Structure 1
Amino acid sequence: MFSTLIDPPPAALADARERFVVLLRTALADGSFVKLLLSKHVGAPDTLERLTVREVQLRGQRQLSFLWRHQTKDVTKNHPLDEGLTQVAALLGRDFHNAHLLTRSQEIQLAFSRKGKPSLRVGALAAEDQPAETSAHDKAKQRLLPLEAPFWTDLGLTHEVKGERQLVPAMSRKWKQINKFIEVMSAALRSSPLAASPEVHVVDFGSGKGYLTFAMHDWLVGQGKRAQVTGVELREDMVRLCNESAARHGLTGLHFDQGDVRSYTPARLDVMIALHACDTATDHAIHLGLRAGAAIIMCSPCCHKQIRPQMQTPPLLRPMLQHGIHLGQEAEMVTDSLRALLLESQGYETQVFEFVALEHTSKNKMILAVKKSGAALAAAEKRKPELLAQIAEIKRFYGLREQCLETLIQDDVARAGSA
């Protein structure tokens, strides 16, 4: 709402359109720009309702993201700043008769009468209405995904309030998880062999309601990639819901299949995702990624059941592991450490870290593996005997007989040797 209304002098009214463009350019230059909404569309196509413009960072460059909202679909296009400003200026008064510019301290409205006469209102925002100040780093993170995408409403993440899509309050933690996932993926992609690839094939196992699957597709397309993203889910109702939403919004390259990680075989797999895959399903997912030669493997393990019953507590650790909670935590650590070492032995740069804060989810660990190449891959091959020896020593220390991923890899080696 306006706390103070600044009326332009009469002489400036004739130049209201030009002043609006100058104010927009200034907001972008000084970093105060929040968003621009163009409405009251006239002319063709008659399905177009409004245009929302936000600033995004793509490959380290500032761009304007245009979200064209039609009655049945939304279309997103990104433009360099100067090109985007030129396009906005051309649209004012010709294709749209109302423009609403929000900055960190002002609300600016440009309206055209039926006769085409422009009028400009510039208001200072009240303190309680001003967007919270954020650092450049925080702003970049927030811009990874646009909340205005219509499929978020289909998935129950957003709803419409006064004509704008807003986050459902109960979904705020989920939204943080989604954006953190994309932040991790962004860093992994930059350091992987896929960085220069124009096309990326992703399979998300256990995709559920498709939050991360839709997010991955939307983000990759925003990076200028030809994205082929597939969600694999056991529940037929979830598969149907996600496919209907993808089709409704014309999301080419996004599809959902009913299937299981133990039997599903993708034609091509560049990025393998398996979040919260229960127990050894995580091992089967990693193994599938290894067999397919995936450049990136992302797992959030769940239900570490295989190792715990096998563990023989070393005498030195018995006082600590006599408590069930400590034994469970130790079993998780041993399981995921073995998985990380096995991935390293297969030529991957591997990290195990906290995915999101514990306050958001108790399943907050991620195993991220990025395929090495060139000299780094050759060096990794030389370290393989050392890594396998470390794995064997850990198993001996805890009295472990079997670890699923190791068995799957060994079976592959045996089959290759007998072929």
Structure 2
Amino acid sequence: MTANILQPNQLEFFNQVEQAWQQQHFERIILSQYQGEIAKLEKITVRSIVLKDQTLLNVVYRYQTQDITKNYSWHEFSALLQEWLNQCQQINLFTEGREIQLKYKKGQWKLSQSKHKSNAVVQALPQSHDRNKKRWIAQDRLFLQLLGITDQKHEIIPSMARKWKQINKFVEIFAGAIEQAQLKQQGDLHVVDFGSGKGYLTCAVYDYLLGQHLQPHVTGVELREELVKFCQNVAQQAGYDQLNFFQGDVRSYFPEKTDVMIALHACDVATDFAIHTGIRLGAKVIMCAPCCHKELRPQLQAPQVLKPMLQFGVHAGQQAEMLTDTLRALLLQAYGYETKVLEFVSLEHTSKNKMILATRQQSFKQVDQNILDQVQQLKTFYGIEKHTLELLLKDLPVDQKIGCAC
């Protein structure tokens, strides 16, 4: 591939992109098999969005461990596209009704076309069981477009359909929890989301609370600087004045107050630190979706009666997971929370689908020793000596190393 010189088929492809853009038939571009100088860049996806009455091209640079999103005018994008045509070995253009592919093969650029069912057609034919489902977030909300959930026509992008379902299910659970905790009556509502990631659920929570005519103060806490900057930019563009993002984790961010503490997919004992923060601050609602239960697995000693079952590694892992979350749920109960362990979303959408949902009981006066005894009995039965949440609640020293590369 020769840099800065377009071969006839490359030039024809570029002209097809330009024509689709000018005629407003453009849907998206996928550039793959990147061979340029940017390290660890795997794929580039492009779609059109409308921001402040201006149509722009939204470009997502997909790396091995993160996505970086930038918006460009057509003039800016066209210059980049000419470079990419010599750096990617396969480029697919999707327009209304057509897919055009440019592929570098055996030293030559091949151009081909095929019929394509556009996003508009796909969205016009929803699955029958989805037609009457209540949606907790309106599809025309700007943050959905900024986060790549919807296109400029406010239609759900097919590849984000599962994320859209996850967002709605989470908001449904969240809405029920704040109703049970009688938080709607207080007006101002403080929410902290530890491990907020790309901000899908953080933004959804803020938007939902605004729609309920409350005054939300929502903070997303995330270790990755690039995601913090991205999410803060989304919040500003969406006009969410009291939605902020902080770079750090549960050990470095210390809110003065929180009514709702959220920690979804916090790795291993990070979930314990988050739960402890919620209990310590007297959060009315604690929502956790635990991830990678590693602390108890090495300690687990199979009781004699269970040895035939736990000799199989997968069963031992499942047992450690169930034991970990049972101890967490019991400790929440002991400290005055009505606690449920439930399926967050179907396994069809994510394997990490368990949620611990706890709402603080107004009648709570003192720690329930009977439940603490149950915790100790379970630990003794399985030979567990150390459980981080229990140590934190007792103000005992713990290993401050949290997180993993799962």
User: TM-score of the superposition, structure 1-length normalised?
Assistant: 0.64
Deviations 1:121-154 (A, max 9, x none): xxxxxxx968777799x44x22x10111112122
Aligned equivalent of 1:346: 335
Give the conservation status (yes or no) of the 8 Å contact 2:170–2:344.
Answer: yes
Q: Structure 1 residue 149 and structure 2 residue 149: aligned?
A: no
Q: Secondary structure at 1:397's aligned position in 2?
A: helix
How far does residue 70 in structure 1 lie from its aligned partner after superposition? 5.7
1:186 aligns with 2:175: yes
Q: Residues 1-400 of structure 1: matches in 2 within 5 Å?
A: 71=53, 138-139=132-133, 141-142=134-135, 144-160=136-152, 164-374=153-363, 377-378=364-365, 381=366, 384-400=368-384
Counterparts in 2 of 1:129 and 1:290: CA distance versus 1, 3 Å: closer
Letter in 1 for 2:249: D
Q: Is the 8 A contact 1:298 1:369 kept in 2?
A: yes
Given the superposition, is the C-alpha separation of residues 205 and 131 from structure 1 closer, same or farther in structure 2, using an over 3 Å criterion? closer
In angstroms, what is the RMSD of aligned CA positions?
2.1
Q: Measure how far apart 1:263 and its partner are.
A: 1.9
8 Å CA contact retained: 1:270, 1:294: yes
Residue 71 of structure 1 deviates from its aligned partner by 3.2
Q: Alignment partner of 2:192: what SS?
A: strand
Note closer, same or farther for the CA distance 1:133–1:171 as it changes in structure 2 (3 Å cut): closer
Whole-Å separation in 1 of the counterparts to 2:189 and 2:331: 25
Paired residues of 1:300 and 1:366 also in contact (CA < 8 A): yes
Task: Give CA deviations for 1:359-400 in whole Å, capped at 9, x if unaligned.
Answer: 1100000000000003xx25xx47x11101100100000010
Contact residue 180 and residue 356 of structure 1 kept, 8 A: yes
Aligned length: 279
Task: Give the match for residue 125 of structure 1.
Answer: none
Question: Can you give the 5+ residue segments of structure 1 that lack an aligned partner in the other structure?
Answer: 1-68, 73-127, 414-419
The 1:317–1:392 alpha-carbon spacing in structure 2 relative to 1, beyond 3 Å, is same
3-state secondary structure, aligned to 2:288: strand
- 1:239/1:257 contact within 8 Å kept: yes
2:393 is equivalent to residue 409 of structure 1: yes
Distance 1:193 1:412 in 2: 33
Matched letter for residue 395 of structure 1: K
Q: Which runs of 5+ in 2 are unaligned?
A: 1-50, 55-122, 398-406
CA distance in 2, matches of 1:337, 1:344: 11
Which whole-Å deviations, capped at 9, do the CAs of 1:186-232 have from their partners, x for residues lacking one?
11111104131111000101100000000000000001110001100
Runs of 4+ in 1 over 4 A off after TM superposition: 128-136
For the 8 Å contact 1:193–1:373, the answer to whether it is kept is no
Q: Secondary structure at the match of 1:158?
A: coil
Question: Separation in 2 of the partners of 1:266 and 1:256?
Answer: 13
TM-aligned CA distance change 1:202 to 1:320, over 3 Å = same
Give the counterpart letter for 1:405 in structure 2. L
| C-alpha deviation, 1:299, in angstroms | 0.3
Q: CA deviation digits over 1:165-198, x for unaligned, max 9? A: 2111011111111100000011111110413111
Q: 1:31-77: per-residue Cα shift (whole Å, max 9, x none)? A: xxxxxxxxxxxxxxxxxxxxxxxxxxxxxxxxxxxxxx9638xxxxx
What letter matches 1:281 in structure 2? A
Change over 3 Å in CA distance of 1:312–1:239 after alignment to 2: same
Identity %: 52
> Structure 1's 228 and 319: CA in aligned 2 closer, same or farther, altered over 3 A?
same
Question: Equivalent residue of 1:200, what SS?
Answer: strand
- When residues 358 and 264 of structure 1 are mapped into structure 2, their CA distance, relative to the original with a 3 A threshold, is same
Between the aligned partners of 2:396 and 2:270, the Cα distance in structure 1 is 17
Q: Is the 8 A contact 1:193 1:371 kept in 2?
A: no
